[in-house]
Structure 1
Amino acid sequence: MQLVLLGGSISRASVMTESRDNENSLIRRVASFARKCLFGILSVGPIPNHIAFIMDGNRRYAKKNNLEEGAGHKLGFTALMSMLRYCYELNVKYVTIYAFSIDNFKRRPEEVQSLMELIREKIEGLIKEESIVNQYGVRVHFVGDLKLLDESVRLAAKRAMVATSKNSKAVLSICIAYTSTNEIMNAVKQSCEEKWEEHKKLGSCGTTNGLIDYAEKVGRKGNNFIGLSDIERHLYTRVTPPPDILVRTSGETRLSNFLLWQSASSLLYSPSVLWPEIGLRHLVWAILNFQRNHSYFEKKRKQV
């Protein structure tokens, strides 16, 4: 009798679970259909080619909700996956995220190590066939001074770049061990080295007259050997155009050393929500602001 009752209990539980799964599946389908309708309306206007995110507020979210350390970053990753899905459904070609600043290495060693392990885990998830980057044909590009990373994280990043190298519908740039000043400094250094190598090939090393001769040969005047195009060619972010929209959560209006060179003509949107709280409405509002000011930003961009 107990076995019969137990069997009946299992059957009822199974039916209830199946019912909940069907209900959740229906809700997801309805939500997906509603998004398609909304995105269809938004697509009547200009859609940004590139959106960048400063994912600010993960630690504050955990503290605000009395969560254990690290829980905010895990919830922040869930919010990131939602934002990426929305962007790719809207046909945004480029998305850049600020995952880990060089300055973040100054935090407690235990926190840095925990973040490195979480980052490695999430990077390895990008390689899986069912991952969002493979669903939408996204090539992953890691941006920053990667030699500063733990070897396990650095190798995971390389594997992800190789595994997604044939994806061609969109590009996800992950800024890790990154600051804009480090990027610019590296670009200037590489530009100088490149010009010096050109200078040596022309056989005019070692004299002031030689430098002047070199400048004339490469079509430049005086000692102005390095131009904007030289710097931009050596930036970590050279695979992406400047962002149309730069979103920073938690209401902060600082760029915090992120894409300083690239964001001269970008729309800055700073919703007051913490990063794990960001939702579709915030992305829609950012795009509406972009569309309303599109002609102005296009004009400013042409002047740069």
Structure 2
Amino acid sequence: MVLGIGWTINHIFSLFRRCIYVILSVGPIPNHIAFILDGNRRYAKKHKLREGAGHNIGFLSLTSMLQCCYELGVKHVTIYAFSIDNFKRRPEEIRYLMDLMQEKIEFLPKEENLVNRLGIRVQFFGNLKLLSEGARDSAQSAMSATATNSKAFLSICVAYTSTHEIVHAVEQVCKEKKQRKAWNEHVNLDDVERQMYLANIPEPDILVRTSGANRLSNFLLWQSAYAHLYSPSALWPEISFWHLIWMVLNYQRNYGYLEKQQQNMDHVNVFGRSNP
């Protein structure tokens, strides 16, 4: 009886979500939403949970948010899972987080999981050499297992900072020109963009940072020039379907302005002169 009631409530809420999605689809739907998953540790402290419990609950929030995003029609989701700066934490905490990361990554491509049900391709970006061997191998396995999925894309930035991504791109451009012995060629914008980790991912339409912090923390600095920024006070494990609705409504309300700004900048080159 209890199981039947639970199924009915879930079914009703699923239908309700779909009705909301239909209403939202009258306006522009973001193609790419990027998330900074901030507040897992504070959530655990706030609720007096053991260390690491916030990250486990945060993973459940991530799964729920991914499902809502893809049901709405968002094709690309990018998450900031682990910064290079996070390696400055205590060694025992790093080991715990690497083990936890490995466990959650291994869960992603399981046949019955959300990733395969929705046809999501999982991609990892960053200096993966910095990860533990287990986490790195799990990331490679997840990418291989989902390589043929193409309905939606989940990009996970680990051992990542935007400045490192830019430096890496410039180094790759210089290496390429050196191999071609193109000593007199200048490094230009197109060269760098082609070598960025996320070169084949569209720029984010919305960039979300939970916990109310108004900073990007070295995440997608190159790609977020025209993104709509949303910073709810909720900690990451507290983020919900309603936050997604609110961020999309705000994006739609500001869509005309954001589009106009991008169009204006498309006519200006890097030297500040209008293109012909």
Q: TM-score interval w.r.t. the shorter chain?
A: over 0.9
String of CA shifts for 1:237-283, please: whole Å, max 9, x gaps: 11211100000000001000000000010000000011101111111
String of CA shifts for 1:159-196, please: whole Å, max 9, x gaps: 00000000000110000000001100000000111122
Compute the TM-score of the two structures, normalised by the length of structure 1.
Answer: 0.86
Matches within 5 A, 1:88-237: 88-199=70-181, 211=184, 215=185, 225-237=186-198
Report what 2:227 is aligned to.
266
Report what 2:270 is aligned to.
none
Q: What is the CA-CA distance between 1:150 and the residue it aligns to?
A: 0.7
String of CA shifts for 1:131-179, please: whole Å, max 9, x gaps: 1111110000001000111111111000000000000001100000000
1:242 aligns with 2:242: no
**Structure 1 residue runs of 4 or more that deviate by more than 6 Å after TM superposition:** none
Whole-angstrom CA distance in 2 between matches of 1:159 and 1:230: 30
Match of 2:16 among 17, 31, 34: 34
Report what 1:50 is aligned to.
32
Whole-angstrom CA distance in 1 between matches of 2:126 and 2:189: 20
Report what 2:241 is aligned to.
280
What stretches of structure 2 of length at least 5 have no aligned partner?
A: 267-276
Whole-angstrom CA distance in 2 between matches of 1:117 and 1:226: 40
Match of 1:84 among 59, 66, 82: 66
| Secondary structure of residue in 2 paired with 1:46 | coil
1:22 aligned partner, one-letter code: G
Compute the TM-score of the two structures, normalised by the length of structure 2.
Answer: 0.94
String of CA shifts for 1:34-58, please: whole Å, max 9, x gaps: 0000000001100000000001000
Structure with the higher helix share, 1 or 2: 1
Whole-angstrom CA distance in 1 between matches of 2:171 and 2:132: 24
CA RMSD across the alignment? 1.0
1:20 aligns with 2:6: no
| Secondary structure of residue in 2 paired with 1:199 | coil
1:290 aligns with 2:251: yes
Q: What is the CA-CA distance between 1:295 and the residue it aligns to?
A: 1.4
The count of aligned residue pairs is 265
Q: What is the CA-CA distance between 1:301 and the residue it aligns to?
A: 1.9
| Secondary structure of residue in 1 paired with 2:180 | helix
1:301 aligns with 2:267: no
Whole-angstrom CA distance in 1 between matches of 2:106 and 2:3: 28
String of CA shifts for 1:181-224, please: whole Å, max 9, x gaps: 11000000001111222225xxxx6xxxxx3xxx4xxxxxxxxx
String of CA shifts for 1:81-102, please: whole Å, max 9, x gaps: 1110000001101000000000
2:58 aligned partner, one-letter code: G
What stretches of structure 1 of length at least 5 have no aligned partner?
A: 1-18, 206-210, 216-224
